[in-house]
Chain A
Amino acid sequence: MTRSKMISRRHGVTRREAIAAIAGATATLIGCGRSRGERQLVRFWTIGREGEVATTLIQDFVAAHPEIEVEVQKMPLTAAHEKLLTAYAGDTLPDLCQLGNTWIPEFAALHALEPLGARVAASKVIDPADYFTEIFNSNRVDDELFGVPWYVDTRLLFYRRDLLQKAGFDHPPTHWAEWEQMLGAIKEHEGHDKYSVLLPLNEFEPLLVLALQQPSELLRDAGRFGNFRSDDFKRVMSFYRNIFERGWAPRATNTQISNVWDEFGKGYFSFYISGPWNIAEFKLRMPENLKDAWMTAPMPGPNGPGASSAGGSSLVVFSSSKAKEAAWQLAEHLSTSASQSRFYDLTGNMPPRRSSWEVPALVQSPYARAFREQLDRVRSPPKVPEWERIATQMRLAGERVVQGKESIEDAVADLDRETDEILEKRRWMMDRDHADRSHAGAS
């Protein structure tokens, strides 16, 4: 299970898990009052692996602040979204929380998040200029800041250096045309039962990354309508389709591949678009003789180095919290360069601050270098609560095109129609709020 957190979040929730979430939330409610005696309690919820190290990270903080007690809760990744929504419905949200930055628009729409703009402006620790700009801005919804980045996540190329060399190239691709040449050469060299690149049909991320490289917006009119009929997106679609039509990528899902690392080692494919967590996985799983055969590279773009998606997790304070000040202090503690370097040592999560990247562990890692470069070239997907559903429709449209079921023209028209339908409620609410406001202004 990879940590494609924000993205594959809502998969895997059974009714039992939902009930467990409710039970868990209830237990939290009963188990701990908001304050015990003099000390103020900060409830901090984390997701998955980060939860295991959070306790270590807050030790200094707890020692320095005897008046604050911190209670760390771990949520499993697959149940986190439901658990948070259940907690929201039951009014038992914690004070501080780790939240995928693609979830922020959704929780902002629920009015569950405390705006942090003023706190950040007054903070001595958090300097927005030190953060990767787009990663920081991914926490803004309609000009209001709702979170502070905790770690970053973006997608780029993992590739087999040796196979690329055999095909006659000594460097990774920098733009689409060059990438296509390489894909063709590798296919030629490796034969018909091998592929040049793996773009799993059950993931929307590869297609999304390619789409974000184009200047056009994916949604138009402030997220009211789909904009997939744009020439830019059609170009992305034909680039994507071509990769499958030429036989450079298998028409397969991740679950069919069974073991991505193993197949990468066998040379079943030479390029793979993935995120930072796979550095540790590949280090661990590549066979001994191929230890140095792989490398990471920034995404090639249409005409030169390209953008990728601005992902990651942020720290947010919920507006229902009774301990906002203490929660904010903890968020500041977790955002210091020292904490972030430590966090990287413990988890391999990449820090969102430029100054945190100056530690030897990161400077010396050849695999991290491409990420450092990519992070200055990232872009957020549209910030509407409905985005993930739209992205899923986009993936399905891509699948129909590469399977030859639909032409690109039809697919993007269908996709726009589906997107407009998904956004219908949002349009209704925006129009209503707009009418209310102009009405209030008139009277």
Chain B
Amino acid sequence: MKVRNVGWWFVAPAVIVLGVFFFLPVLAALAMSVTDFDLYALSDSANLRFVGLQNYGRLLSEPLFWKALGNTLYFVVLGVPLSISASLGAALLVNSKVARLRNFFRTVFFAPVVTTLVAVAVVWRYIFHTRYGFLNYGLSEFGIGPIDWMGDPHWAMPAIVILAVWKNFGYNMIILLAALQSIPEDLYEAARIDGASGWQLFRHVTLPSLAPVLMLVSILTMTGYFQLFAEPYVMTEGGPLQSTLSVLYFMYEEGFKWWSLGRASAVAFLLFVLMFAVTVLQLRIGRREANV
């Protein structure tokens, strides 16, 4: 055995596993996306037609796909910054030296992450309830009239964002907390000696030190949020007026509800291309800021 081949032997198990359980299915899905694979094809392969890029073409000309894409982008654009600010805010609070019961709050903030969405959804449905909901009760204290959270196409997505942010911010909070604790205390001390205010400390010491972690967190959150599915699935079933239908939900319905597996595969690839492009863009911006 030649020495330079030894490396391959070490990576072989991982490569085989990846190949069989990742690359092979991906290739199969790619092949499927250029056919009209459906229930009929399942019964008799003579019913399978090669359709080339027709699935992609049809999807790109289908208003519902664009609507799903628009909804997803809306969710990402609204949800990711909110989610990260909530995480950062919570991390700063929990890390603060003046805070009491820090362990308690750390646990409380993290609790939503480990709860089951389906169970929480039942509670949130009541929180969002137009007539009996706690949220509308709270808003009425400020003189704001009842909002039909789950029934009004304009409010359904913001409601989903609120739920998703609440559900997820604890996870990023833990990551950011770890990063906060690793910022050397002497940096703050030096800045304070120079007469920096609290805000200046945050702006010029905390944020730059957190930058790489924030980058990581934002990429993770963004990819996660692009795959919006469970929240509308349990809360609104994509309604009202398909205003909470996400790309992934659209794909799920195509594939697992209607068995148009060819079209569903095409959706998956379009979503992949989109997420890949956005991630590359994000990395570019992140790198440029690091260079400045």
A interface, CB within 8 angstroms of B: 10-11, 13, 18, 82, 85, 88-89, 106, 109-112, 201-202, 251-253, 255-256, 258, 385, 389, 396, 399-400, 403, 405, 425, 428-429
Pairwise interchain contact A403-B150, C-beta atoms closer than 8 A:
no
Closest Cβ of chain B to A244, distance in Å, is 12
| B211 CB–A CB distance under 8 Å | no
Scan residues 208-246 of chain B and give those whose CB is less than 8 A from a CB of chain A: 235-237, 239-242
- When chains A and B are docked, how far (Å) is the Cα of A10 from the Cα of B132? 31
Pairwise interchain contact B237-A11, C-beta atoms closer than 8 A:
yes
Closest residue of chain B to A8, judged by CB?
Answer: B237
- When chains A and B are docked, how far (Å) is the Cα of A18 from the Cα of B242? 25
Pairwise interchain contact A252-B241, C-beta atoms closer than 8 A:
no
| B112 CB–A CB distance under 8 Å | no
Given contact pairs A11-B237, A255-B235, A110 touches B43 in the complex (Cβ within 8 A): yes
Contact of B125 among A10, A106, A255, A405 (CB under 8 A): A255
Interface size on B, residues (CB 8 A): 28
Given contact pairs A396-B242, A400-B241, A256 touches B40 in the complex (Cβ within 8 A): no
**Interface SS, B side:** loop
| B272 CB–A CB distance under 8 Å | no
Report B147-163 CB contacts with A as 1/0, cut-off 8 Å: 00011010000000000
3 tightest A-B CB contacts, nearest first: A110-B43, A10-B257, A256-B150
- Which B residues are in CB contact (< 8 Å) with A258? 125-126, 129, 132
Pairwise interchain contact A109-B43, C-beta atoms closer than 8 A:
yes
Given contact pairs A256-B129, A256-B150, A403-B241, A425 touches B36 in the complex (Cβ within 8 A): yes
Given contact pairs A88-B42, A258-B126, A258-B129, A253 touches B242 in the complex (Cβ within 8 A): no
Pairwise interchain contact B151-A251, C-beta atoms closer than 8 A:
yes
Q: Which of A201, A258, A399 has most B Cβ within 10 Å? A: A258
| B256 CB–A CB distance under 8 Å | yes
Q: Offer 5 A-B interface pairs, CB within 8 angstroms, sorted by A.
A: A110-B43, A252-B151, A253-B237, A399-B240, A425-B47
Pairwise interchain contact A425-B257, C-beta atoms closer than 8 A:
no
Given contacts A111-B44, A425-B36, A425-B40, 13 further A-B contacts (CB under 8 A): A89-B42, A109-B43, A112-B43, A201-B240, A251-B240, A255-B125, A256-B125, A256-B151, A258-B125, A258-B132, A399-B239, A425-B47, A428-B49
- When chains A and B are docked, how far (Å) is the Cα of A239 from the Cα of B9? 72
| B258 CB–A CB distance under 8 Å | yes
Pairwise interchain contact A106-B150, C-beta atoms closer than 8 A:
no
- When chains A and B are docked, how far (Å) is the Cα of A331 from the Cα of B126? 45
- Which B residues are in CB contact (< 8 Å) with A201? 239-240
- When chains A and B are docked, how far (Å) is the Cα of A255 from the Cα of B256? 22
Pairwise interchain contact B40-A403, C-beta atoms closer than 8 A:
no
Pairwise interchain contact B241-A109, C-beta atoms closer than 8 A:
no
Pairwise interchain contact A111-B43, C-beta atoms closer than 8 A:
yes
Pairwise interchain contact B40-A253, C-beta atoms closer than 8 A:
no
Closest residue of chain B to A10, judged by CB?
Answer: B257
- Which A residues are in CB contact (< 8 Å) with B95? none
- Which B residues are in CB contact (< 8 Å) with A396? 242
Pairwise interchain contact A405-B241, C-beta atoms closer than 8 A:
yes
Contact of A10 among B47, B126, B239, B256 (CB under 8 A): B256
- Which A residues are in CB contact (< 8 Å) with B237? 11, 202, 253, 255
- When chains A and B are docked, how far (Å) is the Cα of A202 from the Cα of B126? 18
| B280 CB–A CB distance under 8 Å | no
Closest residue of chain A to B150, judged by CB?
Answer: A256
Pairwise interchain contact B241-A429, C-beta atoms closer than 8 A:
no
Closest Cβ of chain B to A257, distance in Å, is 9
Pairwise interchain contact A202-B47, C-beta atoms closer than 8 A:
no
Given contact pairs A82-B256, A252-B151, A258-B125, A109 touches B240 in the complex (Cβ within 8 A): no
| B282 CB–A CB distance under 8 Å | no
